[in-house]
Structure 1
Amino acid sequence: MPVFSFRALLVAPVLAALALTAGCGDTGGLVSAGPTPTASGPVHLWPERRGADVPPADPGGAPPEYVPGLPRVPGQNVHTVDPVALVQAELRAHPNADVGPDGMYPETAAAILACGTEGAEPGKCPVLAPYYRDLTGNGKDELVIGIEFPDKMMSVRVYTADPDGRLNRIMATTQTVVAVELAGRDVVLRVPSGNPGYELITAWSWDEKQRSMLPTREQIVRIPANPQGSARPGAGAR
């Protein structure tokens, strides 16, 4: 009866596997990327310098900016709000405002007040179609409105309804806008950064303490180029 070596039985398959891998080249396994640089924490420069003081947030938060002249919103359902009537109500509450969150060109204000009337030019109302998203985390949608201004400028406004049905404006900003996006519970604005080939991305988020939406994150990003080597169409337009 032949005698088999247990050690030989273990070694033979290993040698066969080595022979196969030697003839196949790269088998798709992990490959070292080389040495990894040692991570280092931030270094505080000029530690002896006294920095600027940051005042604490007002514990009371920002006062609500209720829109006057509108009926109460039933059940906090902002889907029932007419966006054009809403912007018209704000125009009447702040006539001739040319700066600040209510600032508006006279020609834009006139076009908004004409929206829906017989003399209005079809398709030319500056108030864009609204969007809805729960941005405050209260389980109810907020109303997001865009108003077109000349020269690619745009006013972006967000409204929420309180339990009493009052409509409260929680965000208003006017900028030269490349694009507006909703990401989770953030309103994200992409605007020209001032440096050719780059955009400034600002995320506005709900701040429970201030009871309004604040710009919480900013990032300057390079505009991706199209195959012809120029920036994508429309990026950085002013």
Structure 2
Amino acid sequence: MRPRPRRPLSAALTSAATGCVLLSGCGDAGELRSAGPTPTATGPVRLWPDLPPVTAPPYDYGETDTAPVPGVRVPAGGVRALDPVAVVRAEALAYPEAYALPDGAGDSLAKKLAGCAGRGPGQAQPSKPSACPVLRAYHRDLTGDGREELIVAVRMGRQITEVRCYMPARGSDPAELTRIMSTADQLVDVQLAGRDIILRSVSAGMPGSEYRTSWSWDEQHRAMLPTRDEIVPVKPGKADGTGKASRGASASPGGAEDAS
């Protein structure tokens, strides 16, 4: 940004300024004044500098786990031509443990998918929407390569929703579909912001607060990773999935403008 040019002093102002130099009693107009004491700048202080180096391998939470989806081929038109139910069904058959509830209980996802008969590619709805656990699919370029990814949500029961993202593979087989994100929680809301997916979930131990996690594409690990995790207060007057106040207005999965 270019600096603004100085405005030239008028003749009257210049004469007045000269008079103040020659005569006493002009006061301290225009002089610098103290803004008060300034806090001393301090850098970060390292705590427990003698901690021994870690030698045991860390616990793997599976954030970077990706997997191809067997039996699903991405058409030339991209992921919009895929049937989201067929994608979920193929992955559930290939990796049955991938869609299990945290305690391992609940009916198999294959049985629940029987209520999705009639769902086709794109945004087609099943004959009985309430019977199908696969919600409306969305499409967004999450990786920045110019191609869209497929974003799917599956109701797993016990108020748990699974969110998964799939991308067309790069390289020798661009028709291969690869899962690049998988997470499940008691979600209040899901948002798309730029190329990030933001998940809001309830907080059981902290009434009046909720968790908010942003998932972003990581080129090094070639996966969507949780890059920002926050505990935020909720605003009164908005109800979330717990019946308590929710944090402001937001775009729900059915209302994102450009996420079709």
TM-score, with length taken from structure 2: 0.65
1:189 and 2:199 aligned: yes
Structure 1 runs (4+) deviating above 3 angstroms are 6-11, 32-39, 51-56, 94-101, 235-238
Distance (whole Å) between structure 2 residues aligned to residue 128 and residue 167 of structure 1: 19
Conserved 8 A contact 2:199-2:212 = yes
Question: Shift in Å at residue 202 of structure 1?
Answer: 1.1
RMSD of aligned residue pairs (Cα, Å): 3.5
1:223 and 2:234 aligned: yes
Percent of pairs with identical residues: 44
Match of 2:165 in 1: 158
Match of 2:224 in 1: 213
> Considering only CA atoms, is the larger Rg found in Structure 1 or Structure 2?
1
Conserved 8 A contact 2:65-2:180 = no
Match of 2:153 in 1: 146
Unmatched runs of 5 consecutive residues or more in structure 1: 1-5, 12-31, 57-61, 227-231
Deviations 1:105-149 (A, max 9, x none): 3165422133125xx861211111111111111110101001113
Match of 2:89 in 1: 88
Deviations 1:142-176 (A, max 9, x none): 01001113232100000001242011111111111
Distance (whole Å) between structure 1 residues aligned to residue 117 and residue 105 of structure 2: 19
Deviations 1:184-210 (A, max 9, x none): 211111112331111111111212222
Aligned residue pairs, count: 203
Distance (whole Å) between structure 1 residues aligned to residue 184 and residue 243 of structure 2: 16
- Please list, as runs of the form range in 1=range in 2, the aligned pairs for 1:6-17 lying within 5 A after superposition: 11=16
Q: CA separation of 1:53/1:200 partners in 2, compared to 1, >3 Å: closer, same or farther?
A: farther
Aligned-partner SS, 1:89:
helix
Q: CA separation of 1:222/1:133 partners in 2, compared to 1, >3 Å: closer, same or farther?
A: same
Distance (whole Å) between structure 1 residues aligned to residue 221 and residue 135 of structure 2: 28
Match of 1:123 in 2: 129
Distance (whole Å) between structure 2 residues aligned to residue 9 and residue 136 of structure 1: 61
Q: CA separation of 1:47/1:97 partners in 2, compared to 1, >3 Å: closer, same or farther?
A: closer
TM-score, with length taken from structure 1: 0.70
Deviates more, 1:137-146 or 1:91-100: 91-100
Distance (whole Å) between structure 1 residues aligned to residue 108 and residue 35 of structure 2: 61
Aligned-partner SS, 2:52:
coil
1:45 aligned residue (39, 47, 54) = 47
Match of 2:114 in 1: 113
Match of 2:255 in 1: none
1:167 and 2:177 aligned: yes
Distance (whole Å) between structure 2 residues aligned to residue 93 and residue 34 of structure 1: 68
Q: CA separation of 1:87/1:50 partners in 2, compared to 1, >3 Å: closer, same or farther?
A: same
Q: CA separation of 1:166/1:176 partners in 2, compared to 1, >3 Å: closer, same or farther?
A: same
Conserved 8 A contact 1:76-1:161 = no
Q: CA separation of 1:44/1:236 partners in 2, compared to 1, >3 Å: closer, same or farther?
A: farther
Question: Shift in Å at residue 66 of structure 1?
Answer: 1.1
Conserved 8 A contact 1:126-1:149 = yes
Aligned-partner SS, 1:178:
strand
Conserved 8 A contact 1:207-1:214 = yes
